[in-house]
């Protein structure tokens, strides 16, 4: 690989891994925060945590996912892998499924949660927080599987 190509590859891979770490880290933080909310339901601390989770959901996940995707595409175009490589198309599928889940399901959950909190409906809030926990677990599992695919690169 020519020195310039490998420098570009290294830079893309650095960006790729840093954005993947951010996405995974934010997801892990989200699960810890949800568990804490379940323990301190109805308190000011729960309210503050739910606001922070909404912020992460809207401000951290989307740019991190887009950067992972763009840097991944850059790595393929730069010659680090082919579109036919299983880890690449499963990686693409994983990103798209995860973004769709986060956007459609996560977004709707966010809105319902904001309405339930505003109405002071603690029972509904507790139910929605449980669903958020399950969504977070699924998302993190998808990311974990993709990272394993990216490291082992099966076929
Ligand atoms: C959530 C999604 C993704 C995560 C968490 C992720 C994570 C990673 C990680 C950790 C590596 C480094 C593996 C290693 O060097 O051992 C890697 C490499 C790579 N990723 Fe991804 N990736 C994701 C999505 C994608 C997508 C969508 C593409 C393609 C469009 C892609 C293309 C690549 C390529 C080509 C490499 C190998 C780079 C090289 O060694 O030169 N990744 N990815």
Cα of 36 vs centre of ligand 1, distance in Å, is 32
User: pLDDT value at position 41?
Assistant: 86
Give the number of domains in the chain: 1
The answer to whether the Cα torsion of 102, 104, 110, 113 is positive or negative is negative
Query: How many Cα atoms occupy the beta-carbon half-sphere of 91 within 13 Å?
Result: 28
> Which residues constitute the domain of residue 36?
5-152
For the CA of 69, the nearest atom of ligand 1: 27
Element (H, E) at 98: helix 86-100
User: pLDDT value at position 32?
Assistant: 95
Which 3 state secondary structure label does DSSP give 138? helix
Per-residue pLDDT of the chain (155 residues; tens, 9 = 90+): 677 778 899 999 999 999 999 999 999 999 999 999 999 988 899 989 988 988 998 899 999 999 999 999 999 999 888 999 999 999 999 999 998 888 888 888 888 988 888 888 888 988 999 999 999 999 999 999 999 999 999 86
User: pLDDT value at position 1?
Assistant: 61
What contacts 138, CB < 8 A, 6 or more positions away? 101
Ligand 1 pocket residues where CB is under 6 Å: 9, 13, 16-17, 20, 68-69, 72-73, 75-76, 80-81, 88, 91-92, 94-95, 143, 146-147, 150-151
Packing angle of the helix pair 44-59, 107-118 (nearest 10 deg): 150
């Amino acid at each position: 690989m020519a020195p310039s190509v490998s420098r570009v590859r290294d830079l893309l891979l650095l960006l790729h891994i840093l954005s993947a770490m951010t996405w995974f880290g934010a997801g892990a933080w989200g699960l810890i925060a949800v568990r804490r909310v379940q323990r301190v339901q109805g308190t000011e601390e729960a309210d503050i945590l739910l606001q922070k989770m909404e912020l992460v959901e809207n401000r951290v996940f989307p740019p991190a996912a887009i950067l992972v995707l763009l840097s991944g595409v850059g790595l393929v175009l730069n010659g680090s892998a082919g579109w036919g490589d299983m880890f690449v198309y499963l990686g693409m599928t994983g990103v798209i499924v995860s973004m769709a889940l986060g956007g459609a399901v996560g977004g709707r959950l966010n809105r319902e949660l904001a309405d339930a909190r505003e109405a002071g409906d603690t029972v509904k809030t507790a139910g929605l927080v449980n669903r958020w926990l399950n969504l977070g677990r699924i998302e993190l599992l998808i990311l974990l599987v993709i990272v394993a695919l990216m490291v082992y690169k099966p076929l």
